[in-house]
Structure 1
Amino acid sequence: GRMPQPQERVLTVCPERQADLRLALARQALQTAGHLRIRAFGSSMLPAILPGDLLTFRAATRADALPGQIVLTATDDNAWRVHRIAAVDGDWVLTRGDALRHRDPPLPRASLLGVLEAQQRGERILAIDRSPNRLLPRTTRWLLRHLPLAHRLARITARRWPRLIELAA
């Protein structure tokens, strides 16, 4: 006869609930395993993080709320965000994407889910840059923060020529 096939589980989620589910899974992974690996997307952290980079976060503690740390945070709309801590004010943390013009709305420390521990690009493990803006020349930073077109170009360049972005950084 036929070998019994392992039961396949398909998780179906309506689009409106996808952010909730992703956040719940991220929280669970960090609480149970202490680590979470996700693939980067978007352009808000260029050039420190390129779309496609594999990011490993460890569970955050209160002591992790330090300026310069790249953190995974829960947002008000139950999504997650990977940005750098720009400032800490008491129980509030201010974050911002390296390539963005404005800071994110203040978040309570409890919204910190994880701290970036490892970053992999292709086969290479990268050193984590904890000093905001160190890699970006002032003019590049200005362009990324002021021109939406710069984000589109950077995303295309990152996908097609990742080495070029590294050299430019």
Structure 2
Amino acid sequence: MTEDRPQSELFGSLSHLLLSSGCSVRFQARGKSMEPAIRDGEILHVKPVVVGELCKGDIVLFGDGLKFRAHRLVVVDRGRDVFITRGDAGTESDGTVCAAQLLGTVVAKEERTGTRTQTVQLCGKRARMRALVSSLRRSGSRALRSLPILRKARLLRQSILKKKDISGTPNWLPLLLTLLSAPAAVFGQVAIDSTTSIGQRVSGATPTITLAHTTVGTNLLLVVGVSINITNNTGATVTGVTYNTTALTLAGAHNDAGNTRRVEMWSLIAPALGVNNVIVTLSLPGGTGTLGVVVGAITFTGVDQTSPLRSFVSADGAAGTPASINVPSGS
């Protein structure tokens, strides 16, 4: 997103002056390099940049010669003073910039819907997750469009539209057969909807851990992973997981060779929409020991609603530098 206005130098000087003095600024975006997150003409809200708080996925306003861009960070290396950005609509990264070139962080935009104007947050974990999901969807769409079968279908359709049968009606049967012969997976696209996690230390015979998790979208699959340090009670297990009071199904579990760590995976097809609680109930035989537990939940969209998961596979290994584990794919 480039500011090509004649007053670009004045814009940069004024923005730098205001932001460096602790003030926030608003300006109108020009260009399509950040679509769909930021559209041409939308008003952006920018606050002073705090280099130590920048994360990959944040949108920053920076100077590029006499032009100014508001692009997303794809590389953050504060130790080497290296920052690399890229527009959401682009496939190539911008040049490397240093902290001195960063003017501010884009935190929100004003989005107009009909006669209403609402402020949409562009900074923070949820905003970065939305950007990641959007990026995955765009990548998937580009990959699908490049598949030979879809290219052939488009060429066939164009050919059919040019040639009509003797009744003057387009002959759609060959195209229909072509599309029907394509595997269903060609037209599906699995994407990440949302992720949440929490870590706690638990004790007692049947402790529980509660995690608030948000689900949106269609054709959903919720997967919950539970990692337990069982050093102080090697018989500890998960006895059940619910989401909005609906029970999940155990996909599989694995204890390491030393019987000090345990991992369990649970799943639920078509979880309830909205913000609901994931509740994990554990069993500590004898009620002894204090265990460290981490719970993570991730929702996928565009998932087959009949048999979304293959068989559970697992492996473990000793820590090393670097550490690596080979896990075979599920059948």
TM-score, normalised via structure 1 length: 0.67
Contact 2:107–2:121 (CA under 8 A) maintained in structure 1: no
1:123-142 correspondence runs (5 A): 123-128=117-122, 129-131=127-129, 132-136=131-135, 137-139=137-139, 142=142
1:106–1:139 Cα change, 3 Å: closer
**Does residue 45 in structure 1 map to residue 43 in structure 2?**
no
Residue 140 of structure 1: CA displacement? 7.3
Where do 5+ consecutive residues of structure 1 fail to align? 1-14, 144-169
Aligned residues with identical type, % of pairs: 30
**Does residue 107 in structure 1 map to residue 101 in structure 2?**
no
Distance 1:108 1:23 in 2: 16
Q: Which amino acid aligns with 1:56?
A: H
| Superposed CA offset, 1:17-60 (max 9, x none) | x3221110111121235201011110010000011211111010
Match of 1:61 among 50, 56, 75: 50
Contact 1:39–1:54 (CA under 8 A) maintained in structure 2: yes
1:141–1:67 Cα change, 3 Å: farther
1:117-156 correspondence runs (5 A): 117-122=107-112, 123-128=117-122, 129-131=127-129, 132-136=131-135, 137-139=137-139, 142=142
Distance 2:141 2:42 in 1: 20
Contact 1:22–1:79 (CA under 8 A) maintained in structure 2: no
Comparing 24-33 and 117-126, the one that deviates more: 24-33
Distance 2:141 2:94 in 1: 17
Larger Rg computed on CA atoms: 2
Q: Which amino acid aligns with 2:119?
A: I
SS of equivalent residue, structure 1 residue 98 = coil
SS of equivalent residue, structure 1 residue 120 = strand
Match of 1:80 among 61, 68, 82: 68
SS of equivalent residue, structure 1 residue 29 = helix
Partner of 2:106: 116
Q: Which amino acid aligns with 2:108?
A: A
Residue 94 of structure 1: CA displacement? 0.4
Higher helix share: 1
Distance 1:26 1:92 in 2: 22
Residue 141 of structure 1: CA displacement? 6.7
Alignment RMSD, CA only?
Answer: 2.2
Contact 2:56–2:75 (CA under 8 A) maintained in structure 1: yes
Partner of 1:92: 82
Which has the higher relative contact order, 1 or 2, with Cα contacts under 8 A spaced 6 or more apart?
Answer: 1
1:30–1:140 Cα change, 3 Å: farther
SS of equivalent residue, structure 2 residue 134 = coil
1:5-24 correspondence runs (5 A): 15=6, 18-24=7-13
1:139–1:73 Cα change, 3 Å: same
SS of equivalent residue, structure 1 residue 130 = helix
1:58–1:22 Cα change, 3 Å: same
Contact 2:108–2:120 (CA under 8 A) maintained in structure 1: yes
| Superposed CA offset, 1:84-123 (max 9, x none) | 0001232010000011111000000121111112211121
Where do 5+ consecutive residues of structure 2 fail to align? 1-5, 144-331
Q: Which amino acid aligns with 1:135?
A: S
Distance 1:141 1:106 in 2: 28
TM-score, normalised via structure 2 length: 0.36
Distance 2:141 2:132 in 1: 8
